Amino acid sequence: MGNIVYRNNIVDNLQQASVDQEWDSAEVFPEYSTGTDVVMWDNGKEGNYWSDYQIRYPDAKEKGSSGIGDTPYVIDENNADHCPLMNPVAISSTPPPISESSSDSLPTIAAFAAAAVTVLVVVVFVYRARRKGKQATLAE
């Protein structure tokens, strides 16, 4: 459906952000076409920190103690961050942990595959042993 850009520090640029309207996604993905890669500049709860927010919107206030500004940050006539952050986002240099579901899935799949192969080998072995036993009985 497109990108949602939020929890970023957009700092000290001559032009903080722009949206390239030249690439038309309708040619590739007509069902999701918006004419742009960026669909939203916030997730409905949090947006981005814009270093010039207080300069552009000097009357903007924080909504309660949410850390969100009460004035949308307008990027252009079609794009706005409706939940601009009043303070920079803390960026960690430590990569996020691998989620439990993705880290556990490979060992689980490998264990399942090994068990399936073991069962198959046992079934083939028992089948051959029984078949040899019947052939020996018929030969007598």
What digits encode the pLDDT tens for the residues 105-117?
556 666 767 777 7
What digits encode the pLDDT tens for the residues 26-56?
555 555 555 556 679 999 999 999 999 999 9
The domain ranges of the chain are 1-90, 103-140
Strands (E), the chain: 3-4, 9-10, 38-40, 49-50, 73-76, 79-81
pLDDT confidence band for 124 (50 / 70 / 90): confident
